[in-house]
Amino acid sequence: MRVLHFYKTYYPDSWGGVEQAIRQMCVGTGRLGVDNTVLTLGRHPGPARMDFEGHVVHRARQNFEIASTGFSVGAIGQLAQLARQADVVHYHFPWPFMDLAHFMARVDKPSVVTYHSDIVRQKNLLRLYAPLKRRFLRSVDAIVATSPNYLASSPVLQQFADKTRVITFGLDKAGYRQPPPAVTDKWRARFGQRFFLFVGVLRYYKGLHILLDALAHPENSRYPVVIVGAGPIEQELRQHVARLGLQHVHFVGAVDEDDKIALLQACYAMVFPSHLRSEAFGISLLEGAMFGKPMISSEIGTGTTYINIDNVTGLVVPPDDAPALGAAMRALWDDPARAADMGRRAEARYRDLFTAERMALNYHVLYEELAAI
């Protein structure tokens, strides 16, 4: 069974939530005998082909980018060539150039789309893109929603409900190596025994400005908050911290895997204030659950509230509501026993629903169904 994945970014250029999900799919199904290949765009100098964790990555040179959509003339020919060698082509939506490339490359193999997110921000461009999007989604054989919440709340997915199934993302905890004790000790010495943690790319939809506004309340300003990640709005957020005079917000930038795992293990709770549907799932939120941490997230009708169940695994607040977010932080901070109990239930939910093994088995079944078409 040979599967070709196609997405705009992947290792080594980028390592966000979608890339992590593709990696887990490739590694997990690879253990079940699937031969995975990833075709992506290269935005930086590097090899055109590389082996990575048991699968092959091809990098087509990106020629230009419009509204976060990378375009590559060379990728069309590579898609056509690699698709001929595959049994199933696995697309990862959204990426408008991908839709165009699918038709230009005349891909005629069984195909599936993992629907990672609606397009939320580029509303004017979306009107132009909508006909191509509908044609592309009609043309594929199957669509995967990443949570029942997203399937129920996405108008686009509802149009294709007859060929959409839910397969949630999963993580392999065994792949998260235990960091050296000195690494954990370093972070505890810097931030103390209790701190809230955010992990993710610093983008507009992550709601970090809401978190900062919540911390501006006198009752909340004492809570240490560690923000892991880099991104396009980092400077804007730092300026917001300075304006509010916050003393306990720590930006640590992008960190290596040992540091990230150490921070996940050491933190008191995860805070994940994403307020727009661009946050379709929340891989780093799931990492918090995997490490048994209570969570705070917003109800935006996506997978975040499938991971985090209000008053069970953590607290869920209305989106873009700084007072409610601050109240949730106080509730967890002031009741360590309740927080610890929520963390235990979060880890149990991860084991029941969100392991990489479960995700891989479900995709393997789907691939076999498609290959038999």
Give 100-118 as a DSSP string. HHHHHTT--S-EEEEE---
116, 25 Cβ separation under 8 angstroms: no
**CATH at 201:** 3.40.50.2000
Number of domains in the chain: 2
Q: What is the DSSP string of 178-217?
A: PPPHHHHHHHHHHH-S--EEEES---GGG-HHHHHHHHTS
What is the rounded CA–CA span in Å between residue 270 and residue 142?
34
Judgement on whether residues 151 and 179 belong to the same structural domain of the protein: no
318, 293 Cβ separation under 8 angstroms: no
Q: Which domain holds residue 62?
A: 2-172+355-371
Judgement on whether residues 32 and 100 belong to the same structural domain of the protein: yes
What is the rounded CA–CA span in Å between residue 299 and residue 324?
12
Overall pTM surpassing 0.85 (yes/no): yes
Judgement on whether residues 68 and 193 belong to the same structural domain of the protein: no
Judgement on whether residues 144 and 181 belong to the same structural domain of the protein: no
Judgement on whether residues 116 and 128 belong to the same structural domain of the protein: yes
Judgement on whether residues 134 and 218 belong to the same structural domain of the protein: no
What is the rounded CA–CA span in Å between residue 201 and residue 234?
9
Q: How many CB atoms lie within 10 A of CB 147?
A: 23
Judgement on whether residues 88 and 208 belong to the same structural domain of the protein: no
What is the rounded CA–CA span in Å between residue 51 and residue 68?
27
What is the rounded CA–CA span in Å between residue 260 and residue 38?
25
302, 277 Cβ separation under 8 angstroms: yes
Q: Which of 75, 159, 163 is nearest to 112 (CA)?
A: 163
pLDDT by residue for the chain (373 residues), tens digit each? 999 999 999 988 887 788 989 999 999 999 999 999 999 999 878 889 999 999 999 999 999 888 778 899 999 999 999 999 999 999 999 999 999 999 999 999 999 999 998 887 666 666 788 899 999 999 999 999 999 999 999 999 999 999 999 999 999 999 899 999 999 999 999 999 999 999 999 999 999 999 999 999 998 889 999 999 999 999 999 999 999 999 999 999 999 999 999 999 999 999 999 999 989 999 999 999 999 999 999 999 999 999 999 999 999 999 999 999 999 999 999 999 999 999 999 999 999 999 999 999 999 999 999 999 8
Judgement on whether residues 179 and 311 belong to the same structural domain of the protein: yes
The single-letter code of the amino acid at 221 is S
Judgement on whether residues 190 and 255 belong to the same structural domain of the protein: yes
Judgement on whether residues 8 and 147 belong to the same structural domain of the protein: yes
Judgement on whether residues 7 and 87 belong to the same structural domain of the protein: yes
What is the rounded CA–CA span in Å between residue 161 and residue 156?
9
Judgement on whether residues 192 and 94 belong to the same structural domain of the protein: no
Number of residues assigned to the chain: 373
